[in-house]
Each structure stands twice: as structure tokens, then as C-alpha cells.
Amino acid sequence: MSDLEIIRDRLQGFESVSVEPAEHQLAAVAVVLREGASGSEILFIERSTREDDPWSGHMAFPGGRVEAADADTRAAAERETLEEVGVSLSEAEYLGHLADLQGSPRFRQNRLIVSAHVYSVKDPSPFVLDEREVATALWFPVQGLSDPQRHVPYRTPAMSEVDFPGLLVGEPERHVVWGLTYRFVDIFMGAIERPLPDRWDPSHEARWRQDQGE
């Protein structure tokens, strides 16, 4: 059994968590997997630097806000993946809904709910990047996500006094997964029974909300 088949089987038994959208804005991302030479690989993008993008320069999964023409968050994730990196998910195997996460109030994103959907692609086409949205895209070994040496503290210029849990997936100081994407990675790795060595502690967020009187 291949590594990707093992992941598929474990995701089938995973119960995703949905959040009632209420009056929140909606966005969606695609967690895209492929079978690599030495096991399964996961797709990350580095967002282009833009003043109008709250995730400017961040490592992320392909995705974006749900538009009026999108049937649902899954449709939005598939559309955005095609637009941003040129990878079509129309014939990909859908492995399920991973989770809905609310944006952090730290960065005034708490009115946004992001849905993550997982896919498996066979022989994906080469990347065709929308350079306005995406600076780089890369495939990273899933097994590498569990490497303790890749778990690093990360500081964002917006909150330079706070160490966030980070995951190095490429060039040091540049290709570090953190924030909402890190939380999705944490949930994904737990779902496939390969928990991260340094897990995101939700109590950190809860204490911050309490300090802010929310």
C-alpha cells in the first residue's frame, strides 16, 4: 500500500469540524497531495507581496475568498487552485473536508471563516503561476512535516514580540508555514495519525482573546 493510500484510508475515518458561517465572510483552500518518489507530497505556495493582501508573502495552501459564482467552498478552492498555480482539480480524487477555521483576531481576520478541502492528484501539470497572487509554489514531503528540526519559532513584523510556531518547508526565514496554514497542517497531520512534534496549543489563542476582553 502506498503512502497516499494510507493517508486516504485514515482521512476516511476522520470527522471534520465545520463552523456555522453566520455573518462571516467565507474563503477556502485546497490541501493538494501527490505521490512522490519517496512518499506523499503536499503543495504549498508563497503568496506574492502585495499591500492589499493580508496574507502578503505568507506560505499557504492555494485558495481565496468565495465568490458569488462559486457553488460552495469546495468549488472556490478548486477554482482558486487552477487560477493561482494552474493545477486542475476537476479530475482529482476528493479526499474530504478537513476543517473550517476562523481567522485570528490578532490580525483582524476574525470575521473570516476558511474551509480546507483535501485532494489527491495524479501526475499534476507543471505550475503556471499567477504572479500577482503567487511568488513560488513547491511540493514538500509529508513525512518532512514531522521532522522536529523543521519546527522553528516564527515572528511576523506585525507582532514582532510574539513567537508563533513555524514549520520550515524551504528557504530559512522565507518559506516558513505559520498561523492559519500551520493550524490546518496540524489538523491534517493529526487526522492521518502523524501528529506534529510541536503542536499548536489552542489555549494560546484563548488566553489572548481573554486578555483582549473578547
Residue with the three cell numbers 471534520: 16
SS3 75: helix
Q: Please provide the average confidence, as pLDDT, over all residues in the chain.
A: 87
Taking only the tens place, the pLDDT of each residue in 5-23 is 999 999 999 999 888 766 6
Predicted confidence at residue 170, as pLDDT, reads 94
Region 88-95: what's the mean pLDDT? Answer: 97
Region 187-206: what's the mean pLDDT? Answer: 75
Q: Which structural domains are found in the chain, ordered by start?
A: 3-143 (3.90.79.10)
| pLDDT tier at 109, thresholds 50, 70, 90 | low
177 pLDDT above the threshold of 60: yes
Contact 25, 113 (CB under 8 A): yes
Contact 66, 28 (CB under 8 A): yes
Taking only the tens place, the pLDDT of each residue in 28-68 is 999 999 999 889 999 999 999 877 666 678 999 999 999 99
Element housing 157 (H / E):
none
Q: For the chain, what is the radius of gyration of the CA atoms?
A: 16
Contact 6, 104 (CB under 8 A): no
The DSSP annotation for 163-185 comes to: EEEEEE-SSTTTSEE-HHHHHHH
Predicted confidence at residue 24, as pLDDT, reads 74
Contact 61, 29 (CB under 8 A): yes
205 pLDDT above the threshold of 50: no
Contact 101, 183 (CB under 8 A): yes
Pairing mode of beta strands 25-36, 112-120: parallel
105 pLDDT above the threshold of 60: no
- Rounded Cα distance, 152 and 147, in Å: 11
214 pLDDT above the threshold of 50: no
- Rounded Cα distance, 150 and 108, in Å: 28
Q: What is the DSSP letter of 92?
A: S
